[in-house]
Amino acid sequence: MIAIFSLLIIVLLSIIVVRIGSVALELTGLSPEIASFQAQSAFSGVGFTTSESETIVTHPVRRRIIRVMILLGSAGVTTSMATLVLAFVGGKEMDVFIRGRMLLLGMLSIFLFAKSKHIDRVMKKIISKALEKLTTMRVFDYEQLLGFNEGYTISRITVRHDSWMKEKKLSELGLHHEKVLILAIYRKVHGKETFIGGPTGDTVIKSNDVLICYSQHDISKALAEKK
């Protein structure tokens, strides 16, 4: 029974460690989805190769967070496997059944704990405050800062070959009249994707450009569908 409880505690601690890593990555500017994915990948040792991975390894703070996550993940996975084997070694058939049922109920409880949005919000606040005191990272509520709760959003618009925006300067599009701000442009040059941050009014929009827009959701949708 001790092995079962030890395994459940290890799994719970692993979830908390991944959550701490995810919040820490968020504080460096990553979105919640990307931060969560990268933290889970590093802890599990999967190591998915994605474009986001490059933004992590080239960032000193993110790289340090991922390094710690990999080290803790290696210890956590090894300990979990060893404890799982010990939990079911020896004992009668009925004992094994009881242990299996306890493990299943415990894992279900941990799963519900991890999926609870209320608990997730509480954990995020606690972890953010702790990281703010223990590290030099600044904590920003990006959703409130960018007005996401007021209907504003950041969206991606791909410029089609027949788009009205193609081969025009940003200043000629009059997007400021629509209260649309172009934050950046992703453009393929010789087959390689390049990033244009803070484009100016003289920047010419090309076919297949991906525009990163900041505006109200309805306006961005209408802009993408405009002929």
Condensed to tens digits (0 to 9), the pLDDT of residues 12-42 reads 888 888 888 888 888 777 778 888 888 888 8
Cross-strand partners of 187: 194
Helix (H) or strand (E) holding 193: strand 192-197
Residue where the block lists tokens 């919000």: 121
For the chain, the domains span 2-134, 145-225
Q: What percent of the chain has pLDDT over 90?
A: 11
pLDDT over 60 at 131, yes or no: yes
Cα separation, 30 vs 94, whole angstroms: 49
Which residues sit opposite 153 in a β-bridge?
A: 215
What pLDDT sits at residue 85?
Answer: 63
Higher pLDDT, 165 or 127: 165
So what's the architecture of 145-225 in CATH? 2-Layer Sandwich (3.30)
pLDDT of 203 over the 60 cut: yes
Question: Would you tell me the crossing angle of helices 32-44 and 2-26 to the nearest 10 degrees?
Answer: 140
User: Among 41-45, 95-99, 144-148, 157-161, which range has the highest average pLDDT?
Assistant: 157-161
The model carries a pTM of: 0.51
Mean pLDDT of 120-133: 76
**Tokens, residue 49:** 């190769």
The pLDDT tens digits for 66-95 are 888 888 887 776 777 667 666 666 656 666
Q: Provide the token pair at 32.
A: 């919640």
Residue 116 has pLDDT above 70, yes or no: yes
Query: CA 21 → CA 7, 18, 80, 103, 110, distances in Å?
Result: 21, 5, 19, 26, 18
Q: Report pLDDT digits (tens) over 44-72.
A: 877 665 666 777 777 777 888 888 888 88
What does the alpha-carbon distance between residue 78 and residue 105 come to, in Å, rounded to a whole number?
22
Residues above pLDDT 70, as percent of the chain: 80
